[in-house]
Structure 1
Amino acid sequence: MQQFYTVEQVADLLDLHVKTVRGYVRDGRLPATRVGRQYRIRREDLDAFTGTSSTPAPTSGPAPVSTSPHADASSIVQVDGVDRRTADRLANAVMATALGRHGRAGETTAGRSRLRVETVFDEERESLKFIVLGDLDTTAGLLKVIDALIGDAR
């Protein structure tokens, strides 16, 4: 049985604004089905979008078999008090660092999961969010870079 989420539920799960999630749907980055005037997002599509499982596995049936343990991280970093120019500079620096550390977007290397970085700027709130998805080491390294860049921006 397929599980569906509303835009509001996805926004809560990802700690994003509802308008941001709607924008992802409209841009085609997050697949959704329109039901009347609302969107519904399949669990599988949300998992693919985030690169992780957003909900617990079903309790019935055997547990999936894994050949080796693997862990990924999903992180959201919110930077408040930034104008559009500073947000663009920070986003460009983080994206360049992410590509430099992990090769081309979507590439998988040496058994490591791909690194995915999204940025969302809310001009009204002067807030920039980084959404980082990837393996633990690469994500931790990128979070340190974000921290250093934010310190330089002050």
Structure 2
Amino acid sequence: MTEPLMSVDDVAARLGLHPRTVRRYIRDGELDAQKIGKSYRITASALQRLTGIADAGPRPARRHIEASNIIEIEGVSRDDAIRITNAVVAASNGQRADDPAFRVETMYDEARERLKVVCLGSLNSNIAMLRLIELYSGGA
């Protein structure tokens, strides 16, 4: 039975390398590969010879889920808007370890007494922020 073949990109993803580095390994003879058309294919045994580590098979694809929310809170005084904004910004800054890309923007329309909060980031960060906003705004 023949071994399944991996592309240069597959090998690069498994090793955490740039595809150019994998191609350099092939060109320098450090990694055995078969050229098929214009691209290279690498077997698991060739990868094992390079790394010295037995392959545990294909890794499951890690999914990255992002969410964005726009929350509008009506009937908010200026002082309450400042209080909610301060809590949301402080919480988003503390969230950075788990979700460094998490962002929060707030806008207050004093004439309409409306606070708008925009959250961008992971699903878990958005859920936590929605709960915090509900707590601070007195929402049901």
| Alignment: residue pair count | 80
Q: Take 1:114 and 1:147, find their aligned partners in 2: how far apart are those partners?
A: 22
Q: Contact 1:75/1:132 (CA < 8 Å) preserved in 2?
A: yes
The aligned residue for residue 117 of structure 2 is: 130
Q: Take 2:119 and 2:137, find their aligned partners in 1: how far apart are those partners?
A: 16
Residue from 111, 131, 138 that aligns with 1:144: 131
Summarize deviations over 1:71-126 as a string: whole Å, max 9, x none.
100001101001111101110011111111225xxxxx5xx461100000001100
**Identical positions, percent:** 38
Cα distance, 1:130 vs structure 2: 0.3
Q: Contact 2:95/2:102 (CA < 8 Å) preserved in 1?
A: no
Indicate the RMSD between aligned Cα atoms, in angstroms.
Answer: 2.1
- Computing the radius of gyration from Cα coordinates, the structure with the larger value is 2
Runs of 4+ in 1 over 2 A off after TM superposition: none
2:111 is matched by which residue type in structure 1? E
Question: Equivalent residues in 2 for 1:93-132 (5 A)?
Answer: 93-103=87-97, 112=99, 114-132=101-119
Question: Equivalent residues in 2 for 1:5-154 (5 A)?
Answer: 68-103=62-97, 112=99, 114-151=101-138
Q: Contact 1:121/1:127 (CA < 8 Å) preserved in 2?
A: yes
Summarize deviations over 1:20-77 as a string: whole Å, max 9, x none.
xxxxxxxxxxxxxxxxxxxxxxxxxxxxxxxxxxxxxxxxxxxxxxx53211000011
2:78 is matched by which residue type in structure 1? R
Gaps of 5+ in 1: 1-66, 104-108
The aligned residue for residue 23 of structure 2 is: none
